[in-house]
Chains A and B, each alone.
Chain A
């Protein structure tokens, strides 16, 4: 059984008509498709970069504010230029795209345009039949980035086939013990590259992990003019169902050629990560990045997503000041394990109390854990600066 179909969807630059694509995303997900959603007001470069890194089967674009012939053609053109013409392009824009326009767009390499009045079922059927077959031979990667993206897909695919054949407890175990075989993942530049520093970010949903990571990325890019960073982000999904992988849409600083980002669905695995995470992470760590950041899905109190002595060098627990009572705090396992604890949204009223309570809790542990308050949504937040300094210099 192959992996779920992965596609990327987006709305073009200077266009905020996202109602259609939001509905279509929901519809795709209901039908077992994994959708990496890039959001609205997105440039051709951002879309193509994301499509290649995420190694999706196709890109679905929803365009309303005109200029669609140019925009779609630029996407197909750039994909081709980057050696990624096996990533297909389709889309729609209600009545703004005429039959004639669609014909012109198809000549430029667009697969299909869905006109106003197309039923939702027709679109999902199309995606499942057109993009659901396993890929035959893939073209040779044109860049290290593309090669990396292909390898990550191989890893994910290998796990997908295992989980379908043996959906048993032993399969669960074997997955987490990394016994699945996939083709060698060593990639060309890995020998000369040093192993990256791997940072694990976890914490409850709504604590602001994604925003915090994106702010750290900004600081990293500003500080290291040649530095490269990889992000492995996770969103929840159930076996056999789709997922909305939406982190990219909110990450404004990470849309950058020096950032390699990959979104993964957990595909039924509990604990905040995907069955394929460990292997993907191992590969990323050897792929020439300075940092690899891994972000779990929003986790519960008992979660301890990162293995002891695993690839992760340092773990960060991002908390929301509104965790409830002190009693709740006692139950959070990651508070014992994390190297750094961040209280984000520290502009909220409860933040002071939260800081004190967590501080006391960390003192009990008697380890050298650090506690930092941030307001990640604030531009140039001093707390995030402090966190960045701690991560990059250890102080």
Chain B
């Protein structure tokens, strides 16, 4: 195992070459379209054909709009540049979107198709619209709000509150500190942290309470669990809880994702609990299991959010996230999992702040990922997709005159959807102070609804805001800068070597330092803080969400009971687990057994005895 991990993760150089080669290919196509008449005619034909098939719908005010906007070009070279360089939404290299229609509202009445400039009668049967309820933009709402507080039952209540008006239940779970570090609520010195900033989960019983009342096997349900260090253990608990509630047949039906991104933990979020290589091994064990047994599960969410929030530049964020992604791909392939099996089960998570790069950061990332996966890893179409969850930047939200945070988040949401994110979390305005309270979380959720459902910005036309000259300029600059970062990481021996060298960490730290310096020397305007500051604004009145001591004590008591009840079985399960880990075999199935009778901390502790603890980096 050690051998495979240590020896790989150096394909980044090949990715750089593949992108360069692809860019050259695009230029060649442009030239050819101009010199080779037949090719030029072919392209023009395809272009006109595509345009002819675009349905036209009317806005509520009666303006006809195409469901896909394309640039006004009729010269074969430019058409080639667009089709090969960007691709239509849903087409390689996916610059404009992973899917064809994204947030468009379902077609009610198709006005007409545009054909060679003239309008012909609609061929599509109108979809019946019901008067009872206004149509929703798409089958699944992209809104997905991250939440977790106090004990499992409290978070459960919040989940029900958040999903009460949604047809699809997509829950996103935040865990508390002890859980994130794989330790139990009864561990030394953690009492005050129980249920703070997320939900406290120690055992499979907590896990059952957490999603109580939701139908875990339903196609309309998915659970996202934001945890990485102990991800395989928490995943095992989730499966165990699902089995207890719905029987073993539920397992292949489970949908959702667990973050499980170890590289970004070491680079930015600081929740690694086992040595890096052991962590990667446990991850791969889990991925091997889920790609085989749980075809609908996303076993890893490759995350730049934490890198961005730790203070990186947007380019660093995208570059490290993508290179981490390629390193995982290399690792899973080395384990013998076919790329077309794990590829479609990878998803990404990016931050979206207010810097100019965010105008196109996710677009460029999607393109780089597709080309790298296709040309370096031989991935088929489904494994080329960069499926993206975005969160607006928490760090851009500040305490001073905090109601301005609503505007910041709104602007970031526009950017996120301009980048065709597949789902999105919008932060609450009280983000700097506390786990969001219901008042502000409601506004945050409604911000998305206003943008997607109320406003006409995203629901009528794909590419509504894509392709401006400014956006193209950002794309070029960002892509070049990301490739430079790739080259540097490749020079250091690949992702793992660079991580062990602290390369990404130190880059992020200097960027963060620069960012704070810019705020306090005034070169980075922050309204209400270093500009237009209202000195009247003292302590804002926000409702703090804090876990009462009795609840914390309740969690400790529950855990004690669980441990007592399962003492014998836990011992045997842990011995079996240790044995399999020691032998180097895939340990996920024994982990599943252990999760039935052991607490999170018991499992972590035993695994650490075998593989050691993570050695933090400065």
Contacts and interface: CB of A to CB of B under 8 A. Distances in A.
Interface of A: 13-19, 22-23, 26-27, 37, 39-41, 43-45, 64-67, 69-71, 74, 94-96, 98-99, 115-117, 119-121, 206, 211, 214, 244, 246, 249-250, 252, 347, 377-380
Contacts of B118: none
Interface string B18-61: 00000000000000000000000000000000000000000000
B304 to A, nearest CB: 15
Contacts of B180: 14, 16
A69 B549 CA distance: 13
B513 A23 contact: yes
Given A13-B193, A96-B433, 13 more contacts: A19-B310, A23-B512, A23-B516, A39-B618, A40-B270, A43-B189, A66-B193, A99-B539, A116-B432, A117-B399, A120-B516, A252-B613, A379-B610
B399 A71 contact: no
A325 to B, nearest CB: 19
Interface string B165-197: 000000000001110110100001111110011
B434 interface: yes
Contact of B197 (A22, A66, A119, A252): A66
A-B CB proximity, top 3 nearest: A14-B177, A67-B192, A379-B612
9 contacts: A13-B193, A18-B310, A70-B191, A70-B192, A71-B192, A94-B432, A98-B544, A115-B399, A250-B616
Nearest to A30: B513
B433 A98 contact: yes
Nearest to A115: B399
B181 A14 contact: yes
A244 B611 CA distance: 30
Contact of B398 (A19, A64, A117): A117
Nearest to A70: B192
Nearest to A249: B618
A185 to B, nearest CB: 31
A65 B191 CA distance: 12
B399 A94 contact: yes
Contacts, number: 130
B193 A119 contact: no
B618 A65 contact: no
Contacts of A249: 616-618
Contact of B517 (A45, A94, A120, A244): A120
Nearest to A12: B193
Given A14-B177, A15-B177, A116-B398, A41 B616 contact: yes
A45 B189 contact: yes
A364 B338 CA distance: 52
A214 B434 CA distance: 38
B454 interface: no
Contacts of B513: 22-23, 26-27
Contact of A26 (B190, B278, B400, B509): B509
Contact of A41 (B270, B538, B611, B615): B270
Contact of B311 (A19, A120, A250): A19
A117 B617 contact: no
A40 B616 contact: yes
Contacts of B613: 252
A19 B511 CA distance: 10
Contacts of B197: 64-66
B525 interface: no
A41 B192 contact: no
A66 B192 contact: yes
B400 A117 contact: yes
B520 A41 contact: no
B275 interface: yes
B618 A23 contact: no
B546 interface: yes
Contact of A347 (B2, B190, B509, B617): B2
B539 A98 contact: yes
